[in-house]
Amino acid sequence: MKKIMLSTLVASTIISSAVYADVVVKSKAATLKFNGTHYLGFVHKDPQTGDSSDYFETRRNYFQVKAYMNGNTKDYMRITMDTHNEGTGEINVRLKYAYLYLDNIMVNTGIEIGQVHRPWIDYEEHHGWLYRSIAKTFIEEHHGAHFSNSADKGINFKTKTANFSSELAIVNGEGYHGKDNDGENGLSYEWRLTASLFGNANKHVHSNHDTYGEVSFLGQYNTKTLKNDKDFVWYGVHAVYNQPDFLIAGIYVSADDQGSANNSTTGSGFSVNGEYRPTEDWSVLGRYDSFSADDNKDREEYIVGAAYKYTKNVKFIANMFHIDPDTNTDDDAQNKYMLTAEVNW
């Protein structure tokens, strides 16, 4: 009986190897690179009105391919797909990024062409606010400034030197999941200018191992927006200091939505966040957002939590998300208690 089982196992292994050996991947690119990011969570919600609720969610799922062409490790075509929970309960897949990147088209400058990064949010998610899996940045967060999102159709010039980096973009302005209106609205001119205090602006920094300090000037001039056919202008300053033991960052923004008075986007506000890392694998985090709008509906929220790096690919996060009902008149002012698995492969 043991001989029969062993023979069956060997035969199965040989057949499986033969099947997989016939799989061929063909591409006109010299190299294909695949990776994915997933935010998987459980939420307990205590709303300002109504009953509490509990639910599981696949918060976001990103699947990405980069095609490096002609053996060049700098030039590539990127496509990123993203799942999104619709209000109907359906989970849809939509295009997040689809751009051609050409490196060094000018001195120390590359360009993205297509559905590209907008200049600010991706930078902050890698340098200042490192917990996109539980909350968007202040610029994008619904209960923060809520000005912009992370991608749009257009071009983005990206410059990096040791002491300075920048992104200068011209995009449609309505965002990657907004309606473009076939060009009837104006374009958006967006920027990030960053000075590095430690001369590592041209390197990919790692918060747990590197020390960096940076000051940025950022903003956008969005002409003739779809929302009200008028210009929307905002700007801000951001500073971050990080060393392996801790991070502290803050941003101040001011905005003028010229379409109407007493609206939710004209106003000013700030956000501060920090992270303390007592060990290599453990960290505690906190964030405070405040935005004062012309419609007298101030937005204020707090985030506190702890994170544990299970492996290099998996991080677990537990946090509380509080929207202050005293300063926020939205009906969904609430406490949320969240458990998250952040997966990168």
Burial degree of 214 (CB within 10 A; 0-12, 13-18, 19+): buried
One-letter-per-residue 3-state SS of 91-159 = EEEEEEEEEEEEEEEECCEEEEEEEEECCCHHHHHHHCCCCCCCCCCCCCCCCCCCCCCCEEEEEEEEE
Residue-wise pLDDT for 60-99, tens only, equals 999 999 999 877 779 999 999 999 876 667 888 999 999 9
Q: What is the pLDDT of residue 327?
A: 57
Q: What is the pLDDT of residue 147?
A: 92
Q: What is the pLDDT of residue 159?
A: 98
pLDDT at 18 over 80: no
Domains within the chain, CATH numbers bracketed: 39-344 (2.40.160.10)
pLDDT at 7 over 60: no
What is the rounded distance in angstroms from the CA atom of residue 272 to the CA atom of residue 67? 37
The residues pairing with 240 across neighbouring beta strands, listed in sequence order, are 214, 249
Q: Picking from 87-91, 108-112, 249-253, 270-274, which range would have the lowest pLDDT averaged per residue?
A: 87-91
Residue-wise pLDDT for 48-67, tens only, equals 777 899 999 998 999 999 99
Better-scored residue on pLDDT, 28 or 226? 28
Q: What is the pLDDT of residue 14?
A: 37
Q: Are 97 and 81 in contact (CB under 8 A)?
A: no
Better-scored residue on pLDDT, 273 or 182? 273
Q: How confident is the model at residue 257 (pLDDT cuts 50, 70, 90)?
A: confident
The per-residue pLDDT of the chain, averaged, comes to: 88
SS3 of residue 3 by DSSP:
helix
Residue-wise pLDDT for 164-193, tens only, equals 999 999 999 988 988 776 667 889 999 999
